[in-house]
Amino acid sequence: MKPLIYLDNAATTKTAAEVVDAMLPYFTEQYGNPSSIYSLGRTGKEAVTKARETIARSLGARSDEIYFTAGGSEADNWAIKAVAEAYGEKGKHIITSAIEHHAVLHTCQYLEKHGFEVTYVGVDEQGILKLDELKAAIRPDTILISVMFANNEIGTLQPIEEIGEIAGSHGILFHTDAVQAYGQLPIDVDQYHIDMLSASGHKLNGPKGIGFLYIRKGLRIRSFVHGGAQERARRAGTENVPGIVGIGAAAGRAFRIMEEKTAKETELRDYLIDRIEQEVPYCRLNGDRRLRLPNNVNFSFRFVEGESLLMMLDMEGICASSGSACTSGSLDPSHVLLAIGLPHEIAHGSLRLTLSEENTKEQMDMVVAAVKRIVERLRAMSPLYEDFIKQESK
Ligand SMILES: *Cc1c(COP(=O)(O)O)cnc(C)c1O
């Protein structure tokens, strides 16, 4: 067995040891219900309060603007459906981007079946939202703009501050899915004019099944889960205390190590990009070279089938992901790669490698060697490649 090289941190991350340590007592000794009066419950309540404060501080928000959820998907669903419900009388038009995560896209599609109209604004070939298209899409009945902070496939960072200003100047609410960005980049909700922001624990070395939605104070947002008075009666259910402690600890850790982690990942990212471009012919870097997440690398290789590439990388102990097939098992190419203008056959040959601060330069060299070898082997089996080379050599 080859040692594992994990390069799928956009899918999920390892829970950091200090996060697990912080969580453990809340499974064992400190199991009280935070709503209880006795001190066993109070300890849990204090831990929840502390996590909420850590997260609020990290965003320049107030504690009572942070609502814990069961992850990023729930936070996205809540934000969009709640605005539709509370502001639907004012208007029934929503603007989002063509490259959102399915948690946003499918929620918008659901609302389209319930009387709302949605405009999916396009992106340029780097994956950056077209601001003039956004401005042109605004109507008197637009109630929400939802644009992700950073894309999960190609890593592109969006002009969030400009989008927030455009939304704010038109009196439109602004939600951002920051699941990929939170913990990787500094975010200030006031500076960026963000009204709602989604994040998820397991994308920042915290546990799975916990996330939060930031909701700016004063927004008319009704309860998402009806029941008890938890989360200021907006999201009922006994708090996931270990999970909340975990996401709080993960947030504290992420902001503490951010500078060092970003520097290390950026260096490895650019090294990997340069070496793949040098070693593998007929490849294309997807996403903006500079305006991208510090840990994201995404390439398309012509005449290569992404799924085969992934399976052969797996045999070498390399965990990666492709943009080519969505999780439902469909073989449709990624909507993100199509939105940046890639033809179907090139979008199919894509590879996403997302790094962590634990990766090394030696690992990057091993990955480059494996990708080079596998791409050569797959192309050698491709009749299209054979024809292409014949044409090229004429
Ligand atoms: C992972 C991810 C989500 C979903 O988060 P979960 O916690 O897994 O539900 C939503 N948006 C983006 C951009 C993501 O990367």
- The tens digit of pLDDT for each residue in 296-338 reads 999 999 999 999 999 999 999 999 998 655 444 566 789 999 9
Q: For 267-291, what is the mean pLDDT? A: 97
- Mode of pairing for the β-strands spanning 66-69 and 211-215: antiparallel
Q: Provide the pLDDT for residue 316.
A: 95
Q: Provide the pLDDT for residue 185.
A: 97
Pocket test for ligand 1, best of 104, 156, 203, 335 (most atoms within 8 A of CB): 203
Contact 41, 72 (CB under 8 A): no
**48-70 pLDDT per residue, tens:** 999 999 999 999 999 999 999 99
Which pair of tokens denotes residue 60? 């320049």
Q: What is the mean pLDDT of the chain?
A: 95
End-to-end CA distance of the chain: 44
Q: Is 204 in the pocket of ligand 1 (CB under 6 A)?
A: no
- Mode of pairing for the β-strands spanning 196-200 and 173-177: parallel
Share of the chain above pLDDT 70, in %: 97
Q: Is 152 in the pocket of ligand 1 (CB under 6 A)?
A: yes
Q: Is 151 in the pocket of ligand 1 (CB under 6 A)?
A: no
**349-369 pLDDT per residue, tens:** 999 999 999 999 999 999 999
Contact 332, 222 (CB under 8 A): no
Q: Is 103 in the pocket of ligand 1 (CB under 6 A)?
A: yes
Per-residue confidence band for 3, with pLDDT thresholds at 50, 70 and 90: confident
Give 67's DSSP letter. E
Q: Is 200 in the pocket of ligand 1 (CB under 6 A)?
A: yes
Whether the CA torsion 109, 115, 116, 120 is positive or negative: it is positive
Top mean-pLDDT range of 16-25, 319-328, 330-339, 376-385? 16-25
Separation of CA 153 and ligand 1 centre (Å): 11
Short-list 147, 171, 169, 166, CA closest to 90: 171
Length of the chain: 394
Per-residue confidence band for 289, with pLDDT thresholds at 50, 70 and 90: very high
* CB contact set of 182 (below 8 Å; sequence gap of 6+): 149, 197, 199, 200, 203, 204, 251
Judged against a pLDDT cut of 90, whether residue 265 lies above it is answered with: yes
Pocket test for ligand 1, best of 97, 146, 152, 157 (most atoms within 8 A of CB): 152
Separation of CA 118 and ligand 1 centre (Å): 21
In the beta sheet, which residues pair with residue 156? 292
Annotated catalytic, 326? yes
Q: Is 73 in the pocket of ligand 1 (CB under 6 A)?
A: yes
In 174-192, which positions are buried (b, 16+ CB within 10 angstroms) versus exposed (e)? bbbbbbbbbbbbebebeeb
Q: Provide the pLDDT for residue 328.
A: 44
Q: Provide the pLDDT for residue 332.
A: 78
